[in-house]
Structure 1
């Protein structure tokens, strides 16, 4: 049935698995994607949206690296919003509402058009491991499929257990069975495992809602897009979301069911996502608040199904229904299905290297929720990196690792493997110490050359990026070199209550003033003439404005990153014996022996390792 040994087998076809399979196949490796149901490739199990705070930056990075999430998001979007526009550009985060059914369909069609990629529908019940090396997988029918590398992206399916009130049943997602066998085998091989929880809200019939009682939330007036490629176009029409609120009456009705809630009666023992709590958790933890926001999100262009964002719950279905009917606009609501919580197995990610390969089994990679993360974007980015590194391992090429100063994806993976996580990990801009460098607008400048070097980003992508960078750099230089007289400058400055100038000066200095925008400097004839002559589009104009206005911050952050990156160059031998360094603290010795940091910089980020411990290491390394 399977006559050959594959280079890469990917288990699971969620967001992580889909990106992993695409990356490995696009790098020329024979790849097999095995999943329990081929109809559910890249299913949006929770909310119908991609991007958001910090997550939007990740989608842009995936796209810049040659992944598919940005392209699929653009092609299936029903609304686009750039969040945090009132803040500095380091905080701007793109987000789309997606058409759930179209999203999964578009992913499947893209994967089916990908060379070197085969598909198979069945549950993987075990791994084939010989002498600490992966050799393939076993399916539930007992079929053995051989491979040089395997990427596990099991999502919430490993021993998944769904909770609705007092009821509980096995499942990896509503209407789908859980996967068994893999956890037990990995534990036998010496891996540590744990349990995590996540939840989802009810889905309701949009025809039963009174939108007139809610606040409309339209998309941006001039929508942008995720992908840097020409394969997609910005939206011409959009669908609105709506916002409403819970109330003290809703909270009282929900509290009536607390004694039947698996969260409060001890049935659920695992930890859920701190930053996406269930509605019962919210009213319990924030008892002083008399209302919480609910976002009413359409599931697509043509369907009437609606996602109630902010009402994630595992309360009994009758309690959910009664409480939701007390929300403004939901008085006559009809359910498509109730909300539920799900518990599943994960493997603490300190058991991985920066490539997402396991330390215990050579050639075995983990990506997505199996590593303790939550969110489509976090999963997709790990899948991409695991798929790339599985392919590079097969080709016996150098591993692909992103630093914290190079990408949010680098921050995510470094956080996971150096600090681990005991609750579902979600990315935030605050986690990235170099967020001024890691903006959503420059992901292609940062990452497309790296992807091109390994053979993933196309020649067209690279040329487009180089052209954009060249034009933006030249336009910045134009402002540095072009002078403007007081007669030209002062009318523009005075209109914005900015101090007038007494002598001619370079435009760069004027443009850098906080009150002065690109629209203001376009009043200078020389600027408008330059834009028209060089055919500068919106992307290049935005890039130039950021580089002029934030040049000081960007330069300062680059210098800080360069200093810390010097510690990245100080490698620690693979099986270094920390016990021989008597001056190390006991905790540092224990943590570093377990995590095995690859560099001094990584060691410095491990919880419990102090600056004095790093000094001891540096002295030993002759630094």
Structure 2
């Protein structure tokens, strides 16, 4: 769970009161902060998870959730109502779901989370058979239902490595990889993790020239490789790595325990889809795995995914109508799509981030309340959704810090300051003066009282902000042996954090703030150190939001706008961007076309809330 970019997603889900971070803190068996030697903008919390513990703790939380009814069944397809359609861009409204038993469950909101199950097919060597994952059947009827509704559906591929019996591995030859002595929890509700004093060892090994020769000699025996669908670029199969990097003699492999009482090891980096007999030779060519016994073979999986350009920023589909019900208040009928492979992403973290946004918005729609929209400036959740709904996905999408233009301000350490207030329950409009953060977003009402209290407690003290009253003269800082230049400039405690060789604890002590929470002090130190860059990024965010405020009506006939090329008209008609900002980020948008579109948008502009702009 977690990683560079992915770990920030987990903390953002937690900031919106999602569960995966809290459950990971209870069931993690090794915790590491990746990129600790680099700047905080690219830190990545990561944990090795005990699968059984995770499942148990998650089930406990779900079954103890107020007002939640859990029903188990296999969904065959969706039930649509065509009588309410009033626009040629809409197909129907959703009325419910039909189980394979024939039972229909009536509903106004549906969130589809199919993973690799949507017409899934497993590949091992030249064998192929229907399955979402090993031992579990695919969802075929639902895929047919979505195709019938006119959704653009593509095929993607991914894979998983074999599982190896622990006792068959010679760990004496391998490098040990220990967890952090003081683990950083995923959840802002926690100050520590459950298993901090009982962390397991992971091990590092690598492939060999023999491994690569086995792969090259047997590629013709894999139907998965011969297919034309796109696999994950950033967590590729071993076959893909050998093909793309022929000059490399070795690729890193991490051997990770599946749990405290599991006898299985997950060889991270050895995903493949070769025949089973070839896999045994391949795995045994890796250092330390000379006698490896496979508990289950590696395999590839191919599956349907929805073109994410069919969706709004709320993850609601554009094709399914929002209509009025027969009761006394407006109930929008919405079909929401979430989870990794539906949007062409790979990984539990991307799945959770999409799921929390789709789930929140389905609930808000059912209550006829305004939607929750997370922008690129708000968090990595917003970056991912914006990337997908604007550009689509020709290969499984994976989150990295490099995908964000605002990564200095949307870091893993401040996800709660950025997002908890957006998800909080009314009424609270507390104004926090923590570096550049001032909370003023619309409230969604999905945050618990406990998290609200924790968020207020964790918000940084105002006495570190650079207000005139907080400034000290040169002699005051020199009395504490701080090397301050004699330039006559007044410096606050916050300003002092930018000086080389000055520790946050020394500044706090000099300012008479010895009792400040260490975690809060660490946050202040990061923002103090990067204050100049953060202020520059604030200006970038203001420019970004100006473009997002210039809305584009979803029903525009782009063929009637002068100055647009035929190609741009076609792209705009297909994507139907919600704003000028989204249009600017579209592939193929030319400067000339953008000027014409901008001129049109300014003429047509009308007052509207930011949430309505982005949700459209």
Superposition TM-score tier, normalisation by shorter sequence = 0.7 to 0.9
Partner of residue 373 from structure 2, selected from 401, 426, 437: 401
Whole-angstrom CA distance in 2 between matches of 1:575 and 1:173:
40
Whole-angstrom CA distance in 1 between matches of 2:216 and 2:558:
52
Mapped pair 1:475 → 2:464: yes
Partner of residue 365 from structure 1, selected from 331, 336, 341: 336
Whole-angstrom CA distance in 2 between matches of 1:468 and 1:483:
29
Mapped pair 1:516 → 2:477: no
| Structure-2-length-normalised TM-score | 0.87
Whole-angstrom CA distance in 2 between matches of 1:441 and 1:228:
9
RMSD: 2.1
SS of the residue corresponding to residue 126 of structure 1 reads strand
Mapped pair 1:574 → 2:564: no
Distance change in 2, residues 1:504/1:398 (3 Å): closer
The offset of 1:444, in angstroms, is: 0.6
The offset of 1:101, in angstroms, is: 1.4
Partner of residue 617 from structure 1, selected from 597, 601, 608: 597
Whole-angstrom CA distance in 2 between matches of 1:75 and 1:196:
33
Distance change in 2, residues 1:290/1:75 (3 Å): same
Structure 2 partner of 1:241: 202
Mapped pair 1:539 → 2:519: yes
Whole-angstrom CA distance in 2 between matches of 1:287 and 1:490:
58
Structure 1 partner of 2:453: 463
Mapped pair 1:385 → 2:357: yes
Structure 2 partner of 1:429: 401
- Structure 1, unmatched stretches of 5+, are 1-49, 494-498
Distance change in 2, residues 1:463/1:483 (3 Å): farther
Whole-angstrom CA distance in 2 between matches of 1:505 and 1:359:
55
SS of the residue corresponding to residue 400 of structure 1 reads coil
1:198-254 Cα deviation digits (max 9, x unpaired): 000011111221111111110112111010114964623311211011111221223
Mapped pair 1:55 → 2:6: yes
Whole-angstrom CA distance in 1 between matches of 2:148 and 2:141:
11
Mapped pair 1:559 → 2:539: yes
Partner of residue 298 from structure 2, selected from 306, 322, 339: 339
Whole-angstrom CA distance in 1 between matches of 2:223 and 2:312:
36
SS of the residue corresponding to residue 110 of structure 2 reads strand
Distance change in 2, residues 1:298/1:483 (3 Å): farther
1:33-64 Cα deviation digits (max 9, x unpaired): xxxxxxxxxxxxxxxxx110101111110000
Superposition map of 1:213-228 within 5 A:
213-228=173-188
1:560-587 Cα deviation digits (max 9, x unpaired): 1111101111111220111111211212
Whole-angstrom CA distance in 1 between matches of 2:14 and 2:61:
14
Distance change in 2, residues 1:384/1:509 (3 Å): closer
Superposition map of 1:33-44 within 5 A:
none
Mapped pair 1:271 → 2:271: no
Provide the aligned length of Structure 1 versus Structure 2.
560
**Does the CA contact (< 8 Å) of 1:485 and 1:504 recur in 2?**
no
Structure 2 partner of 1:307: 266
**Does the CA contact (< 8 Å) of 1:82 and 1:95 recur in 2?**
yes
Whole-angstrom CA distance in 1 between matches of 2:546 and 2:238:
46
The offset of 1:121, in angstroms, is: 2.4
The runs of at least 4 consecutive aligned structure 1 residues that moved more than 4 Å come to: 476-480, 486-493, 499-505, 507-510
Distance change in 2, residues 1:491/1:578 (3 Å): same
Moved more, 542-551 or 252-261: 252-261
**Does the CA contact (< 8 Å) of 1:199 and 1:340 recur in 2?**
yes
SS of the residue corresponding to residue 454 of structure 1 reads coil
